[in-house]
Amino acid sequence: MTMRAVSRHTVRVVVVIGGIAIAIETYSQHFASRLRRRYAGFIAVRQAADFRFRVELVSSPRRLHGYSEGLEVVFRNALWHLRRGDFRAMWDMRRRQGWMQPTDVLHGLDAVLRIVHSLILAEEGGFLVHAASLIRNGKAWAFAGVSGTGKTTMARLAPLDTTLLSDEVTYIRRQTAADGTSGYLAYGNPFYGELRKSGVNTEAPLFQLCLLEQGKRHTLQAVERGEAVRALLRHVMCFSRDVALGNCLFDAVCAFVDQVPVTRLTFARDPGVWELMQ
């Protein structure tokens, strides 16, 4: 049995993803150190936080006995209630703060951060989507697909002049300029897939979203609007069955498809596919 030093003082670690700063507060120096390692590249030292999240570590998984293995995200009494076998959490969007009890600290926190960011983005017309994304020539390309369609492969095949944003989750925010015109930015983030490597903490205008399909040669074809919306809805990360949230995502995806070209990228597993992404 080992003992770890626990500070009496709250330790704040500000994690900035997609330009949104969430201060994670804990009493455990050890946990704070693990946080800094896990989210290296996304830690801000002197930045005011947009949101606060308090983490109370649970010493024994038995403390969470009775919680189901499946994820539940429910909006009730003006609060989001999140729970899974390894954590329970609450999120108050209005007060911009939340609370969490994890057992497997980093795994649970990673899941909660994805959910919380998806809720924040939903209010401003953005979303998280199951897609790899990379920047080339100042433009972001996203490659959406279910597991096994080649998201990580596209990242592995990418030439040296690209910047990895993520091989698993594309973080999309709507941006409105002073003149009223709007566009979408894709942000690098620490949510990774098989590559097990965080993206670079940067962003670029999202130039195109490609629906991945493997084939014998490389082709890039336009997808008509209705099909694009339906396909994208299947890949958008929606953690809750809340109807209002579903309507938000529907509107966000429709608005996105009206501005960002959605294409079908058929590709063979060789680096030549990147010649289509100029």
Partner 1 sequence: MSERYIARSSAIAARLLEGEMVIMSALDSTLFTLNATATAIWQAADGRTPLREIVHNAIHAQFSEVPGSALQDAETFVEALAQHGILLLSDQPITDATALGASQ
- Nearest Cα residue to 163 out of 199, 212, 195, 209: 199
Q: Is 129 in the site for partner 1 (CB under 8 A)?
A: no
Distance CA(26)–CA(228), nearest Å, equals: 42
Among 246, 255, 261, 266, binds partner 1 (CB under 8 A): 246
Among 254, 255, 264, 276, binds partner 1 (CB under 8 A): 254
210 in Cβ contact with 150 (< 8 Å): no
Collect all residues with Cβ–Cβ distance below 8 Å to 33 and sequence separation of at least 6: none
Closer residue to partner 1, CB minimum distance, 146 or 250? 250
Distance CA(61)–CA(107), nearest Å, equals: 14
Q: Is 147 in the site for partner 1 (CB under 8 A)?
A: no
Shortest approach of partner 1 to residue 80 CB, angstroms? 15
Collect all residues with Cβ–Cβ distance below 8 Å to 65 and sequence separation of at least 6: none
Closer residue to partner 1, CB minimum distance, 66 or 70? 70
Collect all residues with Cβ–Cβ distance below 8 Å to 183 and sequence separation of at least 6: 174, 175, 177, 205, 206, 259
Give the binding-site size for partner 1 (rule: CB under 8 A).
Answer: 17
Among 81, 218, 234, 264, binds partner 1 (CB under 8 A): 234
Closer residue to partner 1, CB minimum distance, 205 or 246? 246
Structure tokens at 202: 């940067």
Categorise residue 5: left if φ over 0, alpha if ψ from -120 to 50, beta otherwise: beta
Shortest approach of partner 1 to residue 223 CB, angstroms? 12
Q: Is 225 in the site for partner 1 (CB under 8 A)?
A: yes
Q: Give φ, ψ of 64 to 5 degrees.
A: -105, 20
Quick one: which segment of 23-31, 48-56, 165-173, 220-228 binds partner 1 (CB under 8 A)? 220-228
Task: Tell whether the torsion through CA atoms of 251, 168, 191 and 83 is positive or negative.
Answer: positive
Q: Is 250 in the site for partner 1 (CB under 8 A)?
A: yes
Quick one: which segment of 17-25, 61-69, 191-199, 235-243 binds partner 1 (CB under 8 A)? 235-243
Q: What character string, x for contact with partner 1 (CB under 8 A) and - otherwise, covers 177-216?
A: ----------------------------------------
Closer residue to partner 1, CB minimum distance, 56 or 251? 251
Q: Is 69 in the site for partner 1 (CB under 8 A)?
A: no
Distance CA(159)–CA(224), nearest Å, equals: 29
How far apart are the two ends of the chain, measured CA to CA in Å? 56
Shortest approach of partner 1 to residue 16 CB, angstroms? 29
**Beta carbons within 10 angstroms of residue 17's beta carbon:** 22
Binding site for partner 1 (CB under 8 A): 224-226, 229-230, 233-234, 238, 241-243, 246-247, 249-251, 254
